[in-house]
């Protein structure tokens, strides 16, 4: 019931903004905007350096690993020493991974 109501409200808001919103497309508004720089043409054949993807993947991996620490912190007292040791091993593995990534230069941005 609650999910259905939220979906209905979201749908009404999107439809209302589409119907009631101003429609004044100009050449400037329809132009692709990327970091404030004017577009240089088609990028269909251009390959991006792997650094972009590697940085994004590393961010996601370490971000998700930090998310796993929150539930552990909530039940920290119930887990006792075993939970503390397991989290220490978990953090140590993360530290080794971060040290490796740092050593190979994956965090260097040119």
Under 8 Å CB-to-CB from 65, ≥6 apart: which residues?
90, 94
Count structural domains, the chain: 1
Please report which confidence band the pLDDT of residue 16 belongs to, taking 50, 70 and 90 as the band edges: very high
Whether residue 13 is contained in a domain is answered as yes
Location of structure tokens 């497309």: 25
The alpha carbon of residue 1 and the mean position of all alpha carbons in its chain are separated, in whole angstroms, by: 30
Task: Please count the residues of the chain.
Answer: 110
pLDDT tens-digit profile of 52-98? 788 888 888 888 888 888 888 899 889 889 999 999 999 999 899 88
Structural domain boundaries enclosing 53: 2-103
Whether residue 108 is contained in a domain is answered as no
User: What pLDDT score was predicted for residue 38?
Assistant: 66
Whether residue 29 is contained in a domain is answered as yes
Whether residue 19 is contained in a domain is answered as yes
Q: The domain spanning residue 31 has which CATH number?
A: 1.20.58.1610
Whether residue 11 is contained in a domain is answered as yes
Whether residue 109 is contained in a domain is answered as no
Whether residue 72 is contained in a domain is answered as yes
Q: pLDDT > 70: what percent of the chain?
A: 87
Whether residue 62 is contained in a domain is answered as yes
């Amino acid at each position: 019931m609650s999910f259905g109501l939220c979906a209905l409200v979201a749908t009404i808001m999107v439809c209302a903004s589409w119907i009631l919103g101003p429609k004044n497309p100009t050449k400037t508004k329809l132009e692709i905007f990327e970091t404030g720089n004017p577009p240089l043409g088609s990028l269909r054949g251009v390959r991006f350096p792997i650094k972009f993807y590697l940085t994004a993947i590393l961010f996601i991996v370490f971000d998700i690993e930090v998310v796993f620490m929150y539930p552990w912190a909530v039940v920290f007292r119930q887990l006792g020493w075993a939970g503390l040791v397991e989290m220490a091993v978990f953090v140590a593995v993360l530290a080794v991974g971060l040290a490796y990534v740092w050593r190979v230069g994956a965090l260097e941005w040119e």
